[in-house]
Structure 1
Amino acid sequence: MKITDLMMNDLVIFDETIRSKNELFERLANELERTKRVTKAKKIMKDLYKREKETSTGIEDGFGIPHAKSKHVLEPTVCFIHTEKLSDYLGLDGQPIECSFAILVPSKSSDIHLDILSSLSRKLMNEGFRKELKAARSGEEVLSIINKEES
């Protein structure tokens, strides 16, 4: 399954007013509810924080992959959010997160979230891919970069 099959242009968000993990999760959850990908934004936030308590989903070079399985998710979804550097959301390298791929799947899904997580993690090992995403300024551009990487 291709990551771009789970993304929609309106789930690629550029918002430099987001300055904290809470603001990130809140914006994400509200957008998912608005686009009818989830039933309850507040429950999605709770599920994201529950997963985050296990271990941070920040990886490296300013990227994070927050993810959750939830009964409030209607269909597997991947979102990309480019924010201001978040001082309270750090990667394993100690760098603040500024680009996040959020993965949300229904709780009854098999292990699709692990397949998506694995695929994204491999792609994010490519420095050129990370640089292109950080430089992207539109949803179309982000989807094109990911599509090119998946080809």
Structure 2
Amino acid sequence: MQISSVLDKQNIVFDLTIKTKEELFNNLALSLENNGCITSARRFIKDLKKREKEASTGVEEGFGIPHAKSKAVIKPTIAFAHVDELTDYLALDGSRVECVFMIAVPDQANNTHLELLSFLARKLMDDQFKASIKMAKDAEEIRSILTSLGGE
């Protein structure tokens, strides 16, 4: 699967006013709903929170990969947000999450879900990738970084 096919620049958000995980989930889910990727932001947020209760999706060094399979998802999608360090969303290393790749896949799309999660997890082991993402200033840069580093 090509990352460019699931990451639309309309679903890339740079917003330093977002301070909590709740605000983050609401903002990205509304973006996905407004752009026709999901049918219900409220339903998708419920599924995100259910998944988050199992274990935090904060990874390390300020990155998070919240994800959910949901009946509300129309097509597999990745949304991205670069926000201020969130007060209530910690990565496994104790850092506050500030860069998020949110994965939304239809309820029965197990392979797609694992494929996207695996791709992002591998990329987040690369220090150059993480630095590039944190320094990116707009949606086009994010898309370019993802597609140039093996996302195609």
Q: Does the pair score TM above 0.5?
A: yes
> What is the rounded CA distance, in whole Å, between the counterparts of 1:101 and 1:110 in structure 2?
18
The number of residues matched between the two structures is 151
- AA aligned to 2:20 is S
- AA aligned to 1:55 is A
Match of 1:46?
46
Residue correspondence of structure 1 range 2-151 to structure 2 within 5 A: 2-150=2-150
The structure carrying a bigger strand percent of its residues is 1
SS of residue matched to 2:110: coil
**TM-score w.r.t. structure 2 length?**
0.97
1:24-65 Cα shifts (integer Å, max 9, x gaps): 000011111100111111111111000000000000010000
Post-superposition offset of 1:117: 0.4
> What is the rounded CA distance, in whole Å, between the counterparts of 1:2 and 1:64 in structure 2?
21
Aligned sequence identity (%): 48
Post-superposition offset of 1:110: 3.1
> What is the rounded CA distance, in whole Å, between the counterparts of 1:144 and 1:13 in structure 2?
15
> What is the rounded CA distance, in whole Å, between the counterparts of 1:3 and 1:89 in structure 2?
25
SS of residue matched to 1:141: helix
Post-superposition offset of 1:5: 1.6
> What is the rounded CA distance, in whole Å, between the counterparts of 1:36 and 1:79 in structure 2?
13
> What is the rounded CA distance, in whole Å, between the counterparts of 1:127 and 1:108 in structure 2?
33
Residue segments in structure 2 that go unaligned for 5+ positions in a row? none
Post-superposition offset of 1:2: 2.1
Residue segments in structure 1 that go unaligned for 5+ positions in a row? none
Post-superposition offset of 1:148: 1.0
Post-superposition offset of 1:114: 0.8
SS of residue matched to 1:79: strand
SS of residue matched to 2:88: strand
**TM-score w.r.t. structure 1 length?**
0.97
Post-superposition offset of 1:87: 1.6
Post-superposition offset of 1:108: 2.0
